[in-house]
């Protein structure tokens, strides 16, 4: 079997050297050498080429996304209350935070670019032919997973851009007849976007989709090794005849050159043009003009053309047919011919799709540039983002502090009570603003349980629980007692 | 072109250089080292990112204004002030109100006392009739300048760091360890 290192020379030849070093010991225990050999001694018919570097490039970006994503989760909190604050904290305060967040965000774009190159190479070289149907299908599912990761991750910073782009994106889903509205509600966790939407997108982005991607990447690589490298476009996809060269070293070096390019490119980009964060999402902003990330612009523009009764054609029929055609490709195209110039239909279809996507994206940009209203608003939004980035990070006031700060002291009696509350060390146990501590319960909202008269009675005759808790006797003149009760009742 | 796996035991001698195997294993070592150094370089921002809270003080205390120095110097007995203290905890902050007393020490100089009892942390009120601080929890009694008079507290009330800026008296609030006889800053 080709591509299986377990029947290569290393096994049939003399047994591996029996050294006494650590490496040899580790080898005897783990079989690491065999594993490495099976990874590196993959035969490539026709020899190493730069055309084959994109798959490992994708693997590199994926690993980078996983690592940066895990680190970002050190500070990120997925809730409508805190998401934006925590991303602002990462971006503006945490050392290397802006760099890592940029690496993660630009990494998504890099992923889409390299994925497009990988897919194009596979398509143009006819590498999906010759018992590679499932390999192709797993690649298609991976493509959709990557796009889903980009979509779900985009919302998480919860700034204006993220909020409105996702509002539009989820609204587009509701255009699907019959079940569209239901799917939209399922994605949003309700009819409107809110904190439940963040939770759902976060779980999809961090747990669900990555788990699927891990499994699919493993099966994609396994299926690739099982089928073997397809080699150049003149090669027979079933029984390669050209002389094979092993993956290591030349192909490894070529693959590493792309990795080096990605590291340098992304590193410089993230360092010199870090990803911005806009002001926090304001759902009430009716002026905001949402625009998706560049890779979703073609779909965004496409959906603009389909309205009313024919919407179903553009929203459902054509995309479904396109997806089915892509999935069915290796089943429909059974010829062994791989040279693109001998496959005019396949190449025409590819060109039409690529030109349509690029055309739609450019059209969207063109329309934005030639609509003075939109241009003005987009410039304003950019200016707001720039202004927000210049502001220093402002920590979020904790809810307990807010409760304490919000105590309405318009009533002078309650204001006097507050002084007594603090002066008599009530706050030592009941907390500032009566928010409660480990030593004594919260007093916030106590007016719902006790009327002022009941409180006055309670202050004179403690319950056994209050006595047991060490509540000191309240020995106050009647006026002060009244003020204290007024203050405690005002705690909401 | 390189041929064969790196377990080939009959090294082919290339016409110009060392055997293929040694050249390949040399490359392997080079690549391994290269990957290690690039990986280490990429890990630098990750480590700095993860260690940020350890290298940066997260709780910052600021000086809070108490009022005009001229007005305060004419006081005859301790005056209670509530200052707001901001505690920064990562990306959130808590504002808590702390009670302090502006009073005069034994030399007649202005000083600021924390109202937190050095015994077990209750807030100590000023008893205007007795001209003493009397802790309501365990009856520790302190003089107007904060000196310990009686009760379970092991030391007098804690003085806080003060400064003067533009005629304003400023105080820096701090917490002190309870139940010990010497003042010791915590947190």
Neighbours of A307 (CB within 10 A): 11
CA separation for the pair B114, A470 (Å, rounded) = 23
Interface membership of B2 toward A (CB under 8 Å): yes
Interface membership of B150 toward A (CB under 8 Å): no
Interface membership of B130 toward A (CB under 8 Å): no
- Whether A223 is in a domain gets the answer yes
Smallest Cα distance from A479 to chain B, Å: 17
The overall average pLDDT reported for chain A is 90
Same domain, A299 and A419: no
CA separation for the pair A274, A103 (Å, rounded) = 9
Query: What pLDDT, on a 0 to 100 scale, did the predictor assign at position B104?
Result: 86
Query: What pLDDT, on a 0 to 100 scale, did the predictor assign at position A120?
Result: 97
Could you say which of A341, A363, A390 is where a domain stops?
A390
Number of helices followed by number of strands (H, E) in chain B: 2, 12
Query: What pLDDT, on a 0 to 100 scale, did the predictor assign at position A425?
Result: 73
Cβ atoms of B134 and B141 within 8 Å: the answer is yes
Answer whether A425 sits within 8 Å of B48, measured CB to CB. Answer: no
Chain A residue numbers touching B40 (CB-CB < 8 A): none
Taking Cα atoms as reference points, which of A163, A144, A156 lies closest to residue A209? Answer: A144
* Confidence label for A419 from pLDDT (cuts 50, 70 and 90): confident
CA separation for the pair A349, A338 (Å, rounded) = 15
- Whether A13 is in a domain gets the answer no
pLDDT average, residue stretch A103-113: 97
Interface test with A, best of B92, B115, B133 (most A CBs within 10 A): B92
Answer whether A401 sits within 8 Å of B31, measured CB to CB. Answer: no
Answer whether B125 sits within 8 Å of A425, measured CB to CB. Answer: yes
**CA angle, A193 then A196 then A201, to 5°:** 85
- Whether A28 is in a domain gets the answer no
Cβ atoms of A103 and A270 within 8 Å: the answer is yes
pLDDT 10s digits, A309-347: 888 898 889 999 999 999 999 999 999 999 999 999 999
Same domain, A371 and A440: no
* HEC secondary structure over A393-462: CCCEECHHHHHHHCCCCCCHHHHHHHHHHHHCCHHHHHCHHHCCCCCCCCCCCHHHCCCHHHHHHHHHCC
Same domain, A95 and A124: yes
- Whether A21 is in a domain gets the answer no
Cβ atoms of A293 and A149 within 8 Å: the answer is no
Same domain, A421 and A339: no
Side-chain-facing half-sphere of A65: CA atoms under 13 Å = 24
Taking Cα atoms as reference points, which of A404, A272, A177 lies closest to residue B87? Answer: A404
Chain B residue numbers touching A46 (CB-CB < 8 A): none
Token reading at A314: 């553009």
* Confidence label for A359 from pLDDT (cuts 50, 70 and 90): very high
Helix axes A133-155, A195-203, angle to 10 degrees: 150
Interface membership of B94 toward A (CB under 8 Å): yes
Taking Cα atoms as reference points, which of A190, A212, A249, A290 lies closest to residue A39? Answer: A249
Query: What pLDDT, on a 0 to 100 scale, did the predictor assign at position A409?
Result: 56
Q: Is a pLDDT exceeding 80 seen at residue A14?
A: no
To the nearest whole percent, how much of chain A has pLDDT over 70?
93
Q: Is a pLDDT exceeding 50 seen at residue A11?
A: no
Chain B residue numbers touching A425 (CB-CB < 8 A): 115, 117, 122-125, 135-137
Same domain, A266 and A325: yes
Answer whether A246 sits within 8 Å of B91, measured CB to CB. Answer: no
- Judged by average pLDDT, the poorest of A146-150, A171-175, A192-196, A260-264 is A171-175
Same domain, A274 and A350: yes
Same domain, A320 and A455: no
Query: What pLDDT, on a 0 to 100 scale, did the predictor assign at position B5?
Result: 39
Which SS3 state, helix, strand or coil, does residue B113 take?
A: strand
Same domain, A93 and A56: yes
Interface test with B, best of A9, A69, A81, A95 (most B CBs within 10 A): A95
CA separation for the pair A248, A40 (Å, rounded) = 5
Which SS3 state, helix, strand or coil, does residue B175 take?
A: strand
Which of B2, B90, B136 lies closest to A249 in CB terms?
Answer: B2
Which of A89, A250, A253 lies closest to B90 in CB terms?
Answer: A89
Could you say which of A338, A369, A390 is where a domain stops?
A390
Nearest CA in chain A to B27: A249
What is the CATH number for A404?
1.10.760
Contacts of A85 by beta carbon, 8 Å cutoff, 6+ apart = A77, A280, A395, A396, B91, B92
Same domain, A327 and A425: no
Same domain, A321 and A429: no
Handedness of CA B129, B135, B139, B141 (dihedral sign): negative
Could you say which of A390, A425, A457 is where a domain stops?
A390
Answer whether B49 sits within 8 Å of A94, measured CB to CB. Answer: yes
Taking Cα atoms as reference points, which of A85, A122, A341 lies closest to residue A220? Answer: A122
Taking Cα atoms as reference points, which of A125, A328, A36 lies closest to residue B7? Answer: A36
**CA angle, B132 then B135 then B140, to 5°:** 80
Higher pLDDT, A44 or A4: A44
Q: Provide the pairing of β-strand A396-397 with B92-104.
A: parallel
CA separation for the pair A2, A38 (Å, rounded) = 11
Domain residues for the domain of A199 are 42-390
Phi, psi (degrees; rounded to nearest 5) at B95: -105, 120
Q: For residue B53, how far is the Cα from the chain centroid?
A: 11
Same domain, A84 and A141: yes
Smallest Cα distance from A380 to chain B, Å: 28
Answer whether A37 sits within 8 Å of B52, measured CB to CB. Answer: no
CA separation for the pair A100, B46 (Å, rounded) = 8
Answer whether B95 sits within 8 Å of A40, measured CB to CB. Answer: no
pLDDT < 50 stretches in chain B:
1-14
Q: Is a pLDDT exceeding 90 seen at residue A15?
A: no
Cβ atoms of A45 and A251 within 8 Å: the answer is no
Q: What is the DSSP string of A293-316?
A: -GGGHHHHHHHHT--GGGHHIIII
- Whether A286 is in a domain gets the answer yes
CA separation for the pair A83, A159 (Å, rounded) = 9
Query: What pLDDT, on a 0 to 100 scale, did the predictor assign at position A131?
Result: 92
CA separation for the pair A357, A120 (Å, rounded) = 14
- Whether A9 is in a domain gets the answer no
Answer whether B136 sits within 8 Å of A248, measured CB to CB. Answer: no
Instruction: DSSP letter for B136, please.
Output: T
CA separation for the pair A158, A279 (Å, rounded) = 9
CA separation for the pair A442, A28 (Å, rounded) = 64
- Whether A469 is in a domain gets the answer yes
CA separation for the pair A230, A130 (Å, rounded) = 8
Answer whether A395 sits within 8 Å of B93, measured CB to CB. Answer: yes
Q: How many residues does chain A have?
A: 492
Q: Is a pLDDT exceeding 60 seen at residue A133?
A: yes
Query: What pLDDT, on a 0 to 100 scale, did the predictor assign at position A124?
Result: 97
Q: Helices marked H in A205-343 — which ranges?
A: 209-227, 252-272, 297-304, 311-312, 318-332
Side-chain-facing half-sphere of B75: CA atoms under 13 Å = 22
Which of B48, B90, B96 lies closest to A95 in CB terms?
Answer: B48
Strand-pairing partners, residue B82, are: B99
What is the CATH number for A364?
1.20.810.10
Which of A97, A252, A422 lies closest to B123 in CB terms?
Answer: A422
- Whether A14 is in a domain gets the answer no
Same domain, A436 and A382: no
Where does B54-183 show beta strands of DSSP type E? 63-68, 79-89, 92-104, 110-114, 126-127, 132-134, 141-142, 148-150, 159-165, 168-172, 175-176
Q: Does the interface ipTM go beyond 0.85?
A: no
Structural domains of chain A, count = 2
Which of B9, B46, B99 lies closest to A14 in CB terms?
Answer: B9
Cβ atoms of A196 and A189 within 8 Å: the answer is yes
| Residues 6-65 of chain A whose Cβ lies under 8 A from any Cβ of chain B | 8-10, 13-14, 16, 37, 40-41, 47
């Amino acid at each position: 079997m080709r591509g299986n290192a377990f029947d290569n020379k290393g096994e049939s030849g003399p047994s591996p050297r029996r050294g006494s070093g650590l490496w040899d010991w580790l080898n005897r225990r783990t079989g690491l050498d065999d594993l490495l050999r099976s990874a590196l001694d993959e035969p490539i018919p026709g020899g190493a080429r730069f055309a084959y570097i994109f798959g490992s490039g994708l693997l590199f970006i994926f690993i980078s996304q996983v690592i940066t994503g895990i680190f970002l989760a050190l500070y990120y909190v997925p809730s409508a209350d805190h998401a934006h604050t925590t991303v602002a904290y990462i971006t503006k305060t945490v050392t290397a935070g802006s760099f890592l967040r940029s690496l993660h965000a630009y990494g998504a774009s890099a992923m889409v670019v390299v994925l497009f190159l990988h897919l194009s190479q596979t398509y143009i070289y006819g590498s999906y032919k010759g018992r590679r149907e499932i390999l192709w299908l797993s690649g298609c599912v991976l493509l959709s997973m990557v796009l889903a990761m980009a979509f779900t991750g985009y919302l998480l910073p919860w700034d204006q851009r993220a909020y409105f782009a996702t509002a539009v994106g989820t609204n587009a889903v509701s255009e699907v007849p019959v079940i569209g509205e239901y799917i939209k509600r399922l994605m949003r966790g309700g009819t409107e976007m809110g904190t439940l939407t963040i939770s759902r997108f976060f779980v999809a982005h961090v747990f669900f989709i990555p788990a699927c991607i891990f499994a699919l990447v493993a099966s994609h690589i396994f299926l690739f090794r099982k089928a073997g490298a397809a080699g150049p476009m003149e090669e027979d996809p079933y029984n390669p005849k050209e002389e094979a060269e092993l993956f290591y070293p030349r192909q490894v070096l070529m693959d590493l050159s792309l990795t080096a390019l990605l590291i340098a490119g992304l590193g410089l980009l993230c360092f010199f043009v870090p990803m911005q964060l806009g002001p926090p999402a304001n759902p009430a902003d009716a002026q905001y003009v949402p625009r998706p990330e560049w890779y979703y612009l073609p779909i965004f523009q496409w959906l603009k053309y389909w309205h009313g009764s024919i919407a179903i054609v553009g929203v459902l029929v054509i995309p479904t047919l396109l997806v089915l055609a892509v999935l069915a490709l290796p089943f429909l195209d059974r010829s062994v011919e791989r040279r693109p110039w001998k496959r005019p239909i396949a190449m025409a279809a590819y060109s039409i799709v690529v030109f349509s996507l690029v055309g739609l994206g450019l059209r969207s940009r063109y329309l934005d540039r030639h609509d003075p209203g939109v241009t003005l608003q987009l410039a304003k939004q950019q200016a707001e983002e720039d202004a927000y980035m210049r502001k220093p990070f402002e920590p979020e006031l904790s809810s307990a502090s807010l409760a304490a700060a919000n105590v309405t002291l318009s009533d002078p009696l309650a204001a006097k009570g507050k002084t007594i509350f603090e002066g008599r060390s009530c706050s030592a146990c009941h907390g500032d603003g009566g928010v409660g501590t480990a030593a004594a319960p919260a007093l916030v909202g106590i007016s719902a349980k006790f009327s002022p008269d009941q409180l006055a009675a309670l202050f004179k005759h403690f319950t056994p629980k209050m006595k047991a808790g060490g509540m000191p006797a309240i020995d106050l003149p009647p006026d002060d007692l009244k003020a204290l009760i007024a203050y405690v009742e005002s705690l909401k | 072109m390189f041929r064969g796996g790196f377990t080939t035991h009959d090294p082919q001698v290339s016409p110009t250089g060392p055997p293929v195997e040694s050249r390949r294993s040399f490359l392997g070592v080079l690549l391994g080292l290269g990957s290690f150094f690039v990986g280490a370089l990429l890990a630098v921002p990750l480590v700095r990112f993860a260690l940020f809270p350890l290298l940066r003080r997260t709780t910052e205390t600021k000086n809070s204004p108490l009022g005009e120095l001229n007005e305060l110097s004419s006081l005859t007995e301790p005056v209670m002030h509530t200052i707001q203290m901001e505690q920064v905890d990562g990306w959130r902050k808590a504002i808590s109100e702390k009670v302090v007393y502006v009073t005069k020490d034994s030399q007649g100089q202005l000083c600021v006392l924390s109202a937190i009892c050095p015994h077990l942390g209750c807030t100590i009120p000023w008893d205007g009739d007795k001209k003493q601080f009397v802790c309501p929890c365990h009856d520790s009694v302190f003089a107007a300048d904060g000196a310990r008079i009686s009760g379970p507290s092991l030391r007098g009330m804690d003085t806080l760091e003060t400064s003067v800026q533009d005629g304003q008296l400023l105080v820096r609030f701090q917490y002190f360890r309870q139940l010990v006889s010497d003042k010791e800053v915590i947190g």
